[in-house]
Structure 1
Amino acid sequence: MFPFSKDDRSLLCRQDGFVLSKCEDPQPIIHIGGNEYRLMYLNHSTSTMSIVRNDLWEQSCLPNPINITINDSFLTYPPTNRHLTLFYNCSNVPQRPIIFPCSPELLSFYADDLSERDTYRDFSNSCGTNIQVQVNQSSFDELQNERNEYMLEEWRFGFNVVYDFPSIFCERCDNLVEKCSNLVNSPRYPVCKSGMLTFL
């Protein structure tokens, strides 16, 4: 269903940031900005999807952890997302940290960088590296309630992004006016005429 498509579809039917692969898997891969994410949940009525970084899928210990930010004009983060900071290979850790083992000699842990940013800022100097990841509110609550290191061993905590369906559809209409009827053939979806958004 537009704007989502498989990677074997023609260019006419493909929208950057919404191309899917491994669709036979329960959580297919969606390609956004040159990075891969697992698509965990999709709600067409609210134009919201829950995704997880594919490199963090089933593991939290990365050989070369890096920050990844989604820079797509059609995608936004909702305010309900929370931020976690994952600190790797640390020689010093705070009191009551949620530790996950990545190295036999050094420790790694995560922290909520919204409520405890000042507390944990000092620890970045004693760690090999750190990255920030987003989780949705329900996943964040689960982490805080359980406070269990084993929950990070099989990373399943997605974050939400909202896609602007009218803008996506209107841009496609502006570029391919004569092809609009081929993109979406349902009265549920908006139709663009002369730069204005109307609904059938």
Structure 2
Amino acid sequence: MGGAGSGNRWRTGARRKCEDLLDLRISDLSKGGLLSPGRRGNLEWTVGGRPFRSIDIFTREDSLELTYRRLGPAQEWQRVLEVIALDSADQYFGGERRWFICPCCDRRCAVLYAGEEFRCRLCLNLAYRSQSEDHRYRCLSRARKLRQRLGGAAANTPLQLLDKPTGMHWRTYNTLYEKGVALEQATLRAFSEIALKLNAVSR
């Protein structure tokens, strides 16, 4: 049976999804201290807990050097050295925020995706998976994410059974809780409308 976004995956010309490609996030590099000039490091992606792909990173004053392997035309492994320019912008409350500069379009971006080379979402013509979901499933997906953010061990844990996560402010908790309730109600209304239409057709 079809689920969220079912059918779109196999359509001719369907756009690839961001979630299907490995991503390189400026926030992850910042948290790992890899944006300081002179730093060397390694990022590794895993699938099912096992190493899947990795890249070596060397940071210069205004760029990153990425070294990794990819399959060539003859299915042979090739070593690639790719340089990604960096930019920075002052924050309103002080400090600065770093950005990648996409090598293809020179646009500032916070995330690059591993296509043939690392490029921004627009240059790779990627879509978000949520864009192929209809309104019902989009609300359902957002409600599940909010439940998990509020500490739900499973995506379908009822909101009313969740306590405030340790360290979260009550104001934040109440805001997220109210959003979650609104999304759940919108999802129930949407599915109820479908059920009523199907019932009317079957009569």
Is the TM value for this pair above 0.5?
no
Q: Which has the higher helix share?
A: 2
Query: Which band: TM-score by shorter chain?
Result: under 0.3
TM normalised by structure 2 equals 0.23
Greater gyration radius = 2
Q: Which has the higher contact order (CA 8 A, sep 6+)?
A: 1
